[in-house]
């Protein structure tokens, strides 16, 4: 598969994942609204961090879409690192604030 087609498919998958994580944040927000006060407070503290990581990833995806072939591998590696960070952050927040969910 040519590099350009591979990059396009990769970026499409990233957009889908961004949408999925955006929905996940909304679900966690809903859970927090119905949780104890301390959980609501902790969620209010963590959500801005998670949203910022998500927005940073969205920016990187836009950059990946516009990147030239020479920069693609570096861009892809940065995206992978961002995905791993956001995945871990969401998992940590979910496990700590909403155990059993």
Q: What is the DSSP letter of 100?
A: T
Nearest Cα residue to 90 out of 13, 17, 15, 14: 17
pLDDT digits (tens, 9 = 90+) for 10-49: 888 888 988 998 898 899 999 999 999 999 999 999 899 8
> Is the model's pTM score more than 0.85?
no
Whether 90 and 50 have beta carbons less than 8 Å apart is answered as: yes
What counts of helices (H) and strands (E) characterise the chain?
Answer: 3, 0
Mean pLDDT, the chain, integer = 84
């Amino acid at each position: 598969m040519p590099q350009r087609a591979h990059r396009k498919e990769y970026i499409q998958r990233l957009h889908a994942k961004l949408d999925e994580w955006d929905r996940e944040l909304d679900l966690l927000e809903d859970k927090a609204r119905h949780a104890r006060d301390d959980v609501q407070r902790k969620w209010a503290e963590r959500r801005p961090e998670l949203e910022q990581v998500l927005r940073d990833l969205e920016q990187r995806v836009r950059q990946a879409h516009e990147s030239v072939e020479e920069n693609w591998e570096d861009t892809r590696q940065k995206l992978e690192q961002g995905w791993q960070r956001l995945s871990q952050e969401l998992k940590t927040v979910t496990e700590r604030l909403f155990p059993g969910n």
